[in-house]
Amino acid sequence: MITIIQRVTQASVRVDNKIIGDIRQGILALVAVEKNDTHTHVERLFERMINYRIFADDNDKMNWSLRDIEGGLLLVPQFTLAANTHKGNRPSFASAAPPEYGREMFAYLQEHAIKNYQYVQFGEFGADMQVALINDGPVTFTLTVSGG
């Protein structure tokens, strides 16, 4: 699994001109499922997202996690993160999960997130989404979890 996490002061996602997810201070996470990902990968990635220390403490050091600040988490599916862009002028999506498996794994991520974190919102798998954010810093990281 691959995710881009961005520390935000606010973020939202719209589908058909309706806001379906909206957070204030927290993390916007763009999430790609790869074809060999499992529930264990989903759980590990989720734990990394909410415990990754990217928020400033009282000394302005990145020592606090999303869980520490009780910030919002906006999870948005984005299969294009799984693209291989190493050669040519067109991305290859050979490592991306097939659509139905990606949908299943993102649904599992949603279920797991709801059970384990209070402040979570979601984008919609397969939808044409418009994502808006104010990146705080900017602070952006790529997190990956794989079966190796």
As annotated, the active-site residues are: 78-80
Q: Is 9:142 a contact under the CB 8 Å cutoff?
A: no
Nearest partner of 129 among 2, 19, 1, 27, judged by Cα = 19
Written as six digits, the tokens of 50 are 């909410």
Angle of helix 39-51 relative to helix 99-116, nearest 10 degrees? 50
Residue 129, C-beta contacts closer than 8 angstroms, at least 6 positions apart? 13, 14, 15, 76, 123
